[in-house]
Structure 1
Amino acid sequence: MTATPTPAPSPASPKSPAPGPSGAAPGWRPRRTLPLRVEAVRQLRRRRTLVTGLVLAGLPLVLIAAFAVGGEPERGGRRINLMDTATATGANFAAMALFVSASFLLVVPVALFCGDTVASEASWSSLRYLLATPVPRARLLLSKLVVALAFSAAAMVLLPLVALAAGSVAYGWGPLELPTGGTLPPGEAVGRLAVAVAYVFTAQLVTAALAFWLSTVTDAPLGAVGGAIGLTIVGTILDAVTALGDWRELLPAHWQFAWVDVFNSEVEWGGMLRGASVSVAYALVLFALAFRHFRTKDVVS
């Protein structure tokens, strides 16, 4: 009786990759979807980013031309302010440019970058395709928020930076003349300007959060951007109602110019700390609402 030959062992098959989390495709990792670099490049290539940058960079040149046509500001005998010392040095000109733009002009790019980010994807009917990639909703929203805040911060820095450079060419590089009297050395003046810009950005977090939340609620980018700007203006109007008394201190608009205290001989931090705490508190609540709403939103766009 002949023995049955034993079949030769088949070559070992390559090990198949383990399935991803929750049964997803092999190799899929939530943290690797929609990298910040990809989202930043997408936003940088958009026309509104270029137009916003050109407007912010062009404003200091327009102001220099206006002073060239109208002459230097007259100081007279009244209390000197940042506008009166605008043409003293480049640092003074940068402080003045920040002062005239902080209340409205710098609100627009913040509302634009944060309010257009999600709603524009919905209006283009590309939001559902991003989620089908698949990009987790929290990851998509976080990537867009981080990039939007980064572009908003860049807008805040661009205007005073160009103003400092252009003002130094037009009026010279020298100490910053304080409205309250005295001067600051150029190095210290630049540091004070950096603190002022950081505070302006912190104060605008409320507008950023409003725009971002509205961007998750509506599919119309103009509605999100316009709604955030409109509500910011309403807050400014309410702050002007003196009958509200101490209730105005709960409004972010009440503290929007607290950064002017940076340009005293001794920096006064009290107003800026209270203003920053109010702005951050409102922003955290609104950002949380945006993530909560988007997590359960029926995305059909």
Structure 2
Amino acid sequence: MTATTGNVAVSGAAAGYRRGATLSLMTEIRRQLSRRRTQYALGFMVLLPVILLIAFQFGGPSSASATRGVSLVDLATSGGPNFAAFVFYASATFLLVVVVALFCGDTVAGEASWGSLRYLLAAPVPRARLLLQKLVVGFLSTAVAVVLLLVSAVIGGTLVYGWHPLETPTGAQIGAGQSMLLLLAAAAFILVHLLMVGSLGFLLSVRTDQPLLAVGGAVMLYIISNILDLVPALENIRPVLPTAYNLAWLGLFASPVQLDDMAKGAISALLYSTVFLALAWRSFQRKDIVS
């Protein structure tokens, strides 16, 4: 038993202080949800399918040609599942990247820019616990955003276009029930891929006290990787680029289903995430918090 003198223990900690009770997960979740940027980001996830539905209603018929073939865009109005697949296709490579970079890149840098980071650490909140809670809430917020996007797209598409089997670009039809399983699998892969972006944003967040730099840096590096992926001369290094498998989930809607690229993409994203998070932890543990 630790002896105490007044309100301070012999070990130097205040009487009753417990490291594991500082900055609880629910406290951080409430702080996240109270921020306008979180509310706007999640609200836009619900609104985006509505905007796309309005655009389709006012737009003309599809102009697919025999040479170009049929794509998810051409099949978007075939039913609720098809519309949801198109919404993922339209948002996975940029919009959701910005969202996860916002949730994970702003989290620590935002505290530093407000001047509250040093007060949290003086509470005292252990540095590892602070990072863990903020990282968990950042990824949870991203998962909620993806789920809201999927639910809004399925409901909106079904109300407007009906609940029909999902048509693939190859001409196959997948029952509506099975298509929902495929959409959930696509959402799961997209979330795993976004772990890499969020981890990069988190690394930049602990390295700077400017949230815009952390968020914008993660998005910019993702865009650069996408550009390099398009350069034919870099074909040999393409498999190791972070964005090489960002659309591998489209293999779920091929006939037969193609899962090889999804497996490679998941492994790549997890490896990059592990490296980025390890660097973030190492950097923050040694960082002198003066802002």
Query: TM-score band (shorter)?
Result: over 0.9
Provide the secondary structure at the position in 1 that maps to 2:14: coil
Structure 1 residue ranges (4+ consecutive) displaced by more than 3 angstroms after TM superposition:
15-23
Shift of 1:55: 1.6
Shift of 1:21: 9.4
Alpha-carbon contact 1:119-1:216 (below 8 Å) kept: yes
Q: In the alignment, which of 187, 200, 212 is matched to residue 202 of structure 2?
A: 212
Which residue does 1:28 correspond to in 2?
Answer: 17
Alpha-carbon contact 1:111-1:225 (below 8 Å) kept: yes
Which letter maps to 1:150? L
Shift of 1:22: 4.5
Which letter maps to 2:214? A
Shift of 1:20: 6.4
1:50-89 aligned at under 5 Å gives the runs 50-78=39-67, 79-89=69-79
The 2-side partners of 1:21 and 1:208 are apart by: 41
The 1-side partners of 2:155 and 2:74 are apart by: 19
**Percent of aligned pairs with the same residue?**
48
Provide the secondary structure at the position in 2 that maps to 1:167: helix
Shift of 1:267: 2.2
Alpha-carbon contact 2:4-2:10 (below 8 Å) kept: no
Alpha-carbon contact 1:213-1:286 (below 8 Å) kept: yes
Structure 1 regions of 5+ residues with no counterpart? 1-14
The 1-side partners of 2:53 and 2:280 are apart by: 41
With normalisation by structure 1, the TM-score equals 0.91
The CA deviation string for residues 76-115 of structure 1, in whole angstroms up to 9 with x for no partner, is 4342111111000000000001001111011111000000
The 2-side partners of 1:61 and 1:90 are apart by: 13
Shift of 1:53: 1.5
The 1-side partners of 2:175 and 2:21 are apart by: 47
The 1-side partners of 2:152 and 2:11 are apart by: 50
The 2-side partners of 1:257 and 1:21 are apart by: 57
Which letter maps to 2:118? R
The answer as to 2:177 corresponding to 1:203 is no
Which letter maps to 2:158? S
Alpha-carbon contact 1:192-1:262 (below 8 Å) kept: yes
The 1-side partners of 2:286 and 2:59 are apart by: 56
- Aligned length in residues: 287
The 2-side partners of 1:234 and 1:74 are apart by: 31
The answer as to 2:91 corresponding to 1:101 is yes
Structure 1 vs Structure 2 CA RMSD: 1.7
Q: In the alignment, which of 249, 258, 274 is matched to residue 284 of structure 1?
A: 274
Distance 1:155 1:225, change over 3 A: same
The CA deviation string for residues 268-287 of structure 1, in whole angstroms up to 9 with x for no partner, is 21000001111110110000
With normalisation by structure 2, the TM-score equals 0.95
The answer as to 2:102 corresponding to 1:116 is no
Is 68-77 or 91-100 further displaced after alignment? 68-77
The answer as to 2:244 corresponding to 1:251 is no
Provide the secondary structure at the position in 2 that maps to 1:82: coil
Which residue does 1:12 correspond to in 2?
Answer: none
The 1-side partners of 2:124 and 2:4 are apart by: 21
* CA radius of gyration, larger in: 1
The 1-side partners of 2:175 and 2:97 are apart by: 30
Is 266-275 or 119-128 further displaced after alignment? 266-275
Which letter maps to 2:43? L
Provide the secondary structure at the position in 2 that maps to 1:25: coil
